Amino acid sequence: MTQTYTDATLLRPALYVVATPIGNLGDMSQRAIDTLKSVDLIAAEDTRHSGRLMQHFAIATRLVSYHEHSSSAREDAILRALGEGKAVALISDAGTPLISDPGYGLVVRVRAGSYPVLPVPGASAITAAISAAGLPSDCFSFEGFPPHKSSGRRQLYESLASAQRTLVFYESPHRISESLADMAAAFGGDRQAVICRELTKTWETIHGDSLAGLCDWLQQDDNNRRGEFVVLVHGAAKVEQLALSPETERTLKILMRDLPLKQAAALAAEITGNKKNALYKRGLELAASPP
């Protein structure tokens, strides 16, 4: 479905996806305030949390809860409101909805119902972090929250080890130390990275170092492990294209049958004398191509 609109004409009914501050209330845009005051209903991730924000900006619009555990009945109610000609806003606890926050299912259903979905942009921890980290920003990918278990995290990180783009992750204070240790194991302790902690808040910290250095830094002070984290990891260095001999490629293929790719590439490098990174990259290509 294609939707068009102009700033001069706000379409009603519509779902307005409204960004709210990630910490500093001064980042609340006037357009966001005006929108939240004007809509008929606000679907909030946590009505108690958002209630304080509404009180601060004197927004009296009715709040209803909408979070990741909401039933389809809540989405049905929002769609009914749109069908009755009402305007609805969607907000999360902080930042831009749908960015590791609830809302995807609702937006899909609203668009499928041929109602407009209009963004009211604003604060986002991703863009705040990438703008200040000092890592390449021309090509980056947001990987969200890594898996809770170390085995899942390592599998994810190993799959991204050869990616040449800047990688952006969210992480919680409960797992930041273990997650950084897993990154160092998968990407190499000398890979450059940046931790952004408590962005826009009183104790905002942006600290860059090697992954090994960041692991040490986290242990130097308990405060370094508190708050909400964005972790940015420099992309892998570009590996020169290496023409592998048929025998080297055959060795790699045989090892890949019984070993994880990382181990297969390391062992193939030891056997053949080729660079491990080049063999790992070729292994990724072989794994992605049909037999």
Convert the pLDDT of each residue in 34-72 to its tens digit. 999 999 999 999 999 999 999 999 999 999 999 888 878
Nearest one of 17, 32, 18 to 107, comparing CA atoms: 17
Name the band, by pLDDT with cuts 50, 70 and 90, for residue 251: very high
In this prediction the pTM is 0.78
CA atoms of 50 and 100, how far apart (whole Å) = 17
Has residue 239 got a pLDDT over 80? no
Compute the average pLDDT of residues 160-189: 96
| Three state DSSP letters for 77-141 | HHHHHHHCCCCEEEECCCECCCCCCCCHHHHHHHHHCCCCEEEECCCCHHHHHHHHCCCCCCCEE
Average pLDDT over every residue of 251-256: 94
Question: Is the pLDDT assigned to residue 23 strictly greater than 50?
Answer: yes
Instruction: For 200-258, give the DSSP string.
Output: TSTT-EEEEEEHHHHHHHHHH-GGGG-S-EEEEEPPPPPPPP----HHHHHHHHHHHHH
